[in-house]
Structure 1
Amino acid sequence: MPRAREEAAPRRPRRVRRDRLRGGPRVKILRFSWLNFRNLTSGELRPCGGVNVLWGGNAQGKTNLLEGMWLFTGERSFRGAKDAEMVRAGCAESRLRLDFYGGGRGQTAQIRIAAGRRSAQLNGVPQRSCAAMIGEFRAAVFSPEHLSLLSGGPARRRNFIDAAVCQLRPACAAVFAEYGRALAQRNALLKDIPAHAELLDTLDIWDARLARSGEAVMRARQAYAQALAGPAARFYAGMCGGREALSLRYEKNAGDLAAALRRSRREDLLTGHTGAGPHRDDLAVEISGMGARAYASQGQKRSAVIALKLAEAELLARRTGEPPVVFLDDVLSELDGERQSYLLNRLRDFQVFVTCCEPVPG
């Protein structure tokens, strides 16, 4: 079982302390308990309000603890796991409970994982889905899997933006879901029309729905990318001592989506897929003018992703008035002492959970 300790932190300037108070209270985990989650049988964690270090050997369950707490954001596992994979081997179900402060009050949430799916309750009220809890418990997470934000394809970066936007503006989850449904229906129709020409007129209806929801998706993503760019650049400069510059740009696949769908209709009918729309967009990340995916080193990518995650946490704090909980999974071991200090100093207004194999010097 991983061990936890609070790391002492040097005193902060009084001005920063006042700024934090103006921002309101933090989102804070008061108690987390689990039953048959991954390799964890049963137990509970009562963390401190500052930096919590979970340390121990490999395969002891440190990352599992972070994953279990993260699920209360309403998002999927940050490790990409299916629900069934998170139930302890040989057990029928897993149960999680989180007592936390958020939205200006104390709250309690519960998650049950059984028969390959998750169900949730918030303050005793059953939720229609775990996604319905998005915006109640806000958090930001960095794990080794997040390096694929820069090394992987555009879908990874779109998913990052969408999840961040939904935590900031929970109503956007319905917009993204509507676009996904319209896209799936249009693609199915494109495949059916060659054998059923009478369905061609129906395509106009789905084009209109896809264009309407797609424009909303692009506006939300672009606004978030613009807001993220400044803080991310600042944090990256701090990570590398100002020797390099990070820039972000949201790249749209189409400007006027309705017009783009009309132009691509013939090709779409041939391929059976929709070629234009935000499902083809990307978040371009450059380091000193060079594309990070193609040209950045592993160290540069790691620093860039950490900068993106710090910026995500800062935006959540600034826009909601409540700094989110921050989870850092196996991050510090890959950073030198200077970067470790920079990272932890930037997170002093947050409740933080850090996993590592050795205790962090306090």
Structure 2
Amino acid sequence: MRLVSLEVADWRNVASAQLDTNARFVVLHGDNAQGKTNLLEAVWTLSNLRSFRESRYQRLIRHECDSVQIDGMVVGESGRRRLRWARSAASRTMQIDGQNVRQLRDWFAVLRAVLFCPEHGAIIRGGPVERRSFVDRAAFTTRPAHLDVVRQYARVLRHKAALLRSRKGGRVQVESWNSQLALLGGQLAARRAAALCDLSEPFVEAHRAIAGPRSGVATLRMRGLGRAAPGERLDPAVVTAQFIEKLSTGLDDEIRQARCLVGPHRDDLVVDLDGHPARNFASQGQARSLVLALKLAELEAARRQGLAPLFLLDDLTSELDRSRMVRLMEVLADLKNQVWLTTTDPRWLGPLPGGDVVSYKVAAGRVEPLSEPPE
């Protein structure tokens, strides 16, 4: 899969830009706060219909403009397809080859992407929400229908939580929501366990490749309702039965405390380094290597299912030391995926496969192609 061209209009600080990106590596370089990440964000938005930095579309529109538009030509599993995404106060446009999209799954099947950015350090350092979100994102990359289960579970959970907070519902009303929650929760936990199975082996290999053979053994496990032995896939029906039992046992406590105490919304992905939770002791460099290994594992899990998402890496050269950067570039050189990189100093990227790189200089929202990769 490749995004062979990108056009943006009134996006962030970019008035207009047309990029020819038919190469394995696309390098965006320039000083800080010039628009490099904005372009990477445009690619992510075209893939996922949402920004990774801003939830309000109004902030994506260039100052004093009324609308924003992103166009991209994709060559991938479904052939050659043109995507258009546009937003204004009055309308939202999502088109594939000029036709309005009715089913989101049709859109998500055209362009997939995996993102690494500095904020993803929270996957290791942050709370369980960030880690659950990573697992859900990895599951979505290969199985877009996972998003429907996540949303349905969240909707039922909100209704139950509101009922508990109101303290107006009795056991019968809460049990009614619990029956729906158990069915969806069983599916969600089983899907996450399947995603973890897909990620575990590639994660170990990717971490060793980036951090080096003396860096320790990194492993993954899920804690909570979705807990499973390494490599184990869970039966949704079995998990649902377990969830029903836990909900029944904890019903009185939930009513008394007026909050939802049991379910996959409380699960946590544990990233271990030599058998100990990395969140508690990993150095900054170790944490960055672990996050990159997670992202590379997501790419490999997709590859094993015949998919090749774009790999988007933001501000990579500020996140890794020289030795890790060298090892990472060796890994990237072996990938078949298209890779997009932003950097303030392209010399840190080291050698990229010659003849398959396009580079752009970004300054004050203006984008200029370079005939040769910067030195």
Q: TM-score range by the shorter chain?
A: 0.7 to 0.9
Matches within 5 A, 1:167-178: 167-178=141-152
Which stretch of the first structure deviates more once superposed, 347-356 or 154-163?
A: 347-356
Which stretch of the first structure deviates more once superposed, 327-336 or 111-120?
A: 111-120
Please tell me whether the aligned partners of residues 139 and 324 of structure 1 are also in contact (alpha carbons under 8 angstroms): yes
- Alpha-carbon displacement from aligned partner over 1:103-150 (angstroms, at most 9, x marks no partner): 230111111122398542223232358676323211111010111111
* 2:356 corresponding residue in structure 1: none
Matches within 5 A, 1:255-270: 256-270=242-256
Equivalenced residues, count: 332
* 1:21 corresponding residue in structure 2: none
Give how far 1:306 is off. 0.5
Please tell me whether the aligned partners of residues 317 and 323 of structure 1 are also in contact (alpha carbons under 8 angstroms): yes
* 2:308 corresponding residue in structure 1: 323
Task: Flag the 1:233–1:112 CA change in 2: closer, same or farther, 3 A.
Answer: same
Tell me, in whole angstroms, the C-alpha distance in 2 between the residues paired with 1:205 and 1:61. Answer: 50
Runs of 4+ in 1 over 4 A off after TM superposition: 116-119, 128-132
Tell me, in whole angstroms, the C-alpha distance in 2 between the residues paired with 1:196 and 1:174. Answer: 27
Report the aligned-residue RMSD.
Answer: 2.0
**One-letter code aligned to 1:246:** A
Matches within 5 A, 1:1-362: 27-74=1-48, 76-115=50-89, 119-128=93-102, 133-192=107-166, 194-195=167-168, 197=170, 200-243=171-214, 244-253=216-225, 256-319=242-305, 321-348=306-333, 349-360=336-347, 361-362=350-351
Give how far 1:38 is off. 0.8
SS in 1 for 2:346: coil
Give how far 1:275 is off. 0.8
Tell me, in whole angstroms, the C-alpha distance in 2 between the residues paired with 1:119 and 1:167. Answer: 23
Please tell me whether the aligned partners of residues 117 and 315 of structure 2 are also in contact (alpha carbons under 8 angstroms): yes
Please tell me whether the aligned partners of residues 135 and 195 of structure 2 are also in contact (alpha carbons under 8 angstroms): yes
Which stretch of the first structure deviates more once superposed, 58-67 or 111-120?
A: 111-120
Structure 1 unmatched runs, 5+: 1-26
Give how far 1:220 is off. 0.6
So what's the TM-score if we normalise by structure 2?
A: 0.83
Please tell me whether the aligned partners of residues 58 and 357 of structure 1 are also in contact (alpha carbons under 8 angstroms): yes
SS in 1 for 2:304: helix
**One-letter code aligned to 2:30:** G
Tell me, in whole angstroms, the C-alpha distance in 2 between the residues paired with 1:239 and 1:300. Answer: 10
So what's the TM-score if we normalise by structure 1?
A: 0.86
**One-letter code aligned to 2:213:** G
Task: Flag the 1:128–1:252 CA change in 2: closer, same or farther, 3 A.
Answer: farther
Please tell me whether the aligned partners of residues 38 and 86 of structure 1 are also in contact (alpha carbons under 8 angstroms): yes
- Alpha-carbon displacement from aligned partner over 1:162-199 (angstroms, at most 9, x marks no partner): 1221121112211111111111111122234x3354xx
Structure 2 unmatched runs, 5+: 227-238, 352-375
SS in 2 for 1:353: strand
Tell me, in whole angstroms, the C-alpha distance in 1 between the residues paired with 2:210 and 2:91. Answer: 40
Tell me, in whole angstroms, the C-alpha distance in 1 between the residues paired with 2:14 and 2:103. Answer: 24
* 2:234 corresponding residue in structure 1: none
Identity %: 33
Task: Flag the 1:299–1:227 CA change in 2: closer, same or farther, 3 A.
Answer: same
Tell me, in whole angstroms, the C-alpha distance in 2 between the residues paired with 1:61 and 1:281. Answer: 37
Give how far 1:213 is off. 0.5
* 2:369 corresponding residue in structure 1: none
Give how far 1:78 is off. 2.2
SS in 2 for 1:347: helix
Tell me, in whole angstroms, the C-alpha distance in 1 between the residues paired with 2:212 and 2:318. Answer: 19
- Alpha-carbon displacement from aligned partner over 1:208-236 (angstroms, at most 9, x marks no partner): 11000001000010111122111111111
Please tell me whether the aligned partners of residues 78 and 110 of structure 2 are also in contact (alpha carbons under 8 angstroms): no
Task: Flag the 1:132–1:308 CA change in 2: closer, same or farther, 3 A.
Answer: same
Give how far 1:263 is off. 1.2
Task: Flag the 1:259–1:359 CA change in 2: closer, same or farther, 3 A.
Answer: same
Give how far 1:276 is off. 0.5
Tell me, in whole angstroms, the C-alpha distance in 2 between the residues paired with 1:334 and 1:46. Answer: 27
